Amino acid sequence: YIHKTDMSRLHIDSLTKSFNEKKIIRDIYISCETGKVIGLLGRNGTGKTTLLKIIFGIEKGDSQFIRVDDKVLQNQMDRKGRIAYLPQHSFLPRGVKIKKLISLFCNKENADQLIASDLLKPFLNETSGSLSGGEKKIVEVILMIYSDSKFVLLDEPFNALSPKMISEIQKMIKEQSQQKGFIISDHRYQEVLDISDEIYLLSDTYLKQIKDFKELQQYNYLPKNI
């Protein structure tokens, strides 16, 4: 449990983005604090990835206001140690052993934990170039969950993983969310619902907070007959 004084808050406000005059997302407001897991749902092409990239700072909104605690985030450097991001594409450098990468992303305590973890053991002396797509994904998701950042944005973390692996990853997210905040976007909505404290749906350019399954059907995210 997080002591109130240690709590951090990521605050996103007035975020709007268009491509070629077409508004993709508008007037987005969302906030996440350490200790929370927020689920972000939406159909393909609604702008979830764009939203995460803007929060992480690799894309710019037409307008945006993003801060962590008292620090307004202007550029990529401001996000160091504050926000980590798992993109949908692979990002590990090809020729470096996984063991070496762990200490780049994680603090010492987490690095030691991961080096001892059964999930990563088989990969420690491999380089990412020698791993299959699914193995790479496992390593990347775990590195981000344990990375040295207060907030972690995960874009499709469950994609291409086996059910057993998904439940391992869910456990890790829950455990690390005791001291971090997570925003997770994935098409496997049930797996997102299972671990989220709050759910948001991105639909028709707006972000709506969702209370239950029924609302997901009302907004046509899920078929009415489930």
Burial environment of residue 123 by CB neighbours within 10 A (0 to 12, 13 to 18, 19 or more) = buried
pLDDT in tens, 4-18: 557 999 999 999 999
The Cα–Cα gap between 131 and 44 comes to 28
Model confidence, pTM:
0.93
Indicate the pLDDT class of residue 66, thresholds 50, 70 and 90: very high
Q: Which has the minimum average pLDDT: 98-102, 137-141, 198-202, 220-224?
A: 220-224
Query: Rounded mean pLDDT of 66-87?
Result: 92
What separation in angstroms does the CA of 174 have from each of 37, 152, 168, 170, 179? 8, 12, 10, 6, 10
pLDDT in tens, 95-130: 899 999 998 889 999 999 999 999 999 999 999 899
Q: What is the CA radius of gyration of the chain?
A: 17
- 110 DSSP β-pair partners: none
The Cα–Cα gap between 11 and 72 comes to 9
